[in-house]
Amino acid sequence: MSPMATYPGSSLRDPRISAVLDRLHRDARRDVFRFVGLAPRLLGGFLVRRSLFDSMTPERAKNILMPVSREQGHFLYLTARAIRARTVVEFGTSFAISTLYLASAVRDNGGGVVIGTELEPSKHERALAHLAEAGLDEIAEVRLGDAMQTLEKTPEPIDLVLLDGWKDLYRPVLDLLTPRLRPGAVVLADNIHTFRKSLRPYVEFVQSGENGFDSTTLSIADGFEYSVRSDG
Ligand SMILES: C[S@@+](CC[C@H](N)C(=O)[O-])C[C@H]1O[C@@H](n2cnc3c(N)ncnc32)[C@H](O)[C@@H]1O
């Protein structure tokens, strides 16, 4: 089967892709136990008034998938299909669940590129293996390192961005990528509900109407901020 082969309706029905997604979503259900294992360290950080994400270093989280839900993944796929996205950038790849949905959409749109980025080396390796297993490694590239460096250069114009790394970088990554967004580009930012307080400045920025975006919070799973780059 050629890597660009399409399936009736959707690449999400391609058995190679659905098998990897099913397995990873199943594995992600065990994240709750992995978080419990980290609880003493997270609590220690909390007691010295560090935020959850200061305590949750990439090294500590290296076995935790923290993926988008199936519903969010399907929403990412449908959004990328609706806007015919060919160039997609993702901040925070982990084991590549979201990347698999996005790359499936790009394949069904006729091909293009998904640029992911992951800070933690073992997660980066696993992400590459999952994309290869699904037959999507010709479309998706995952860059190893800090997004502020790895995303300095990307193909452009960008059609769609997923922000799903550590929350303090949503605004800096958005600022980095904004000059490369095409009019009508969609930016989806995850975990708006859990990190309501720390993401409030981000949400206010995209919702103000004064910064080149129209935006609303969608209550899908943990909350997606759905922002569209204005034309002007
Ligand atoms: C919530 S998980 C991403 C889940 C993924 N989008 C999915 O749905 O499968 C966040 C990931 O972002 C990575 N990350 C955090 N800060 C980063 C940075 N500055 N640059 C690149 N990756 C980063 C973490 O190591 C972690 O694996």
From ligand 1's centre to the CA of 55, what distance in Å?
15
Distance 1 CA to ligand 1 centre (A): 31
> What pLDDT is recorded for position 65?
85
Could you tell which of 71, 72, 119 is best to mutate to test the pocket of ligand 1, judged by most ligand atoms within 8 Å of the CB?
Answer: 119
List own/partner pairs for 2-9 with CB under 8 A and 24 or more apart.
Answer: 3/107, 3/135, 3/136, 3/137, 3/138, 3/139, 4/107, 4/111, 4/138, 6/107, 6/108
User: To which CATH superfamily is domain 66-229 assigned?
Assistant: Vaccinia Virus protein VP39 (3.40.50.150)
pLDDT 10s digits, 4-30: 555 677 999 999 999 999 999 999 988
Strand segments, DSSP code E, in the chain are: 87-91, 113-118, 140-144, 158-163, 181-189, 213-218, 224-229
Model pLDDT for residues 131-161, shown as the tens digit of each residue: 999 999 999 999 999 999 999 999 999 999 9
| 59 — pLDDT class (breaks 50, 70, 90) | confident
Least confident window among 14-23, 42-51, 101-110, 197-206: 42-51
- Sign of the Cα torsion 179, 181, 182, 188 reads negative
- Our answer on whether the CB atom of 117 is closer than 6 Å to any ligand 1 atom is yes
C-alpha of residue 164 to centroid of ligand 1, in Å: 6
pLDDT at 57: 76
The alpha carbon of 118 and the centre of ligand 1 are apart by a number of angstroms equal to 6
pTM score: 0.91
Q: In the predicted model, is pLDDT for residue 40 greater than 70? A: no
Q: Does the beta carbon of 151 lie inside 6 Å of ligand 1?
A: no
- What are the sequence ranges of the domains in the chain? 66-229
Nearest CA to ligand 1 atom 18: 146
The predicted pLDDT at position 37 comes to: 67
The band of 58, judged by pLDDT with boundaries at 50, 70 and 90, is: confident
